[in-house]
């Protein structure tokens, strides 16, 4: 899910209204940055044991400007409509 400029504005207003005193759980810093890429799903390839990312659960993510700790919010609660995932054709034919 890629955020538009309007999404960014709405998210920042929403966070300021409800969570204006967020402190980093790791270092106590109060400066955050909204991340542009907001969908995260991690899988693991059992053959190579490498992690991979693909379309998954949309999240609104902010990161601590001091230590990089990340925090996620549900976009639906904020009022951000996630992108529709691409339709996959499912067949039961063999
Ligand atoms: Zn921090």
| pLDDT value of residue 16 | 93
Question: Residue 89 Cα, ligand 1 centroid: separation in angstroms?
Answer: 43
Question: Residue 93 Cα, ligand 1 centroid: separation in angstroms?
Answer: 52
In a domain, 86, yes or no: no
| pLDDT value of residue 59 | 83
pLDDT tens-place string over residues 21-67: 999 999 999 999 998 766 666 666 677 766 665 556 678 899 999 99
Could you give the CA distance from residue 29 to residue 80 in angstroms, rounded to a whole number?
26
Sign of CA dihedral 26, 66, 75, 44: negative
Residue 63 belongs to domain spanning: 5-78
In a domain, 21, yes or no: yes
- Please count the structural domains in the chain: 1
Decide if 73 contacts 32 (C-beta within 8 A): no
In a domain, 85, yes or no: no
Decide if 59 contacts 40 (C-beta within 8 A): yes
């Amino acid at each position: 899910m890629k955020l538009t400029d309007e999404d960014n504005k709405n998210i920042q207003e929403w966070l300021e209204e409800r969570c204006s005193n967020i402190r980093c759980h790791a270092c106590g810093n109060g400066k955050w940055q909204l991340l542009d890429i907001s969908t995260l799903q991690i899988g693991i390839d059992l053959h190579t044991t490498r992690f991979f990312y693909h379309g998954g659960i949309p999240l609104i993510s902010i990161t601590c400007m001091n230590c990089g700790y990340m925090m996620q919010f549900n976009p639906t609660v904020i009022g951000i409509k996630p992108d529709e995932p691409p339709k996959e054709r499912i067949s039961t034919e063999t």
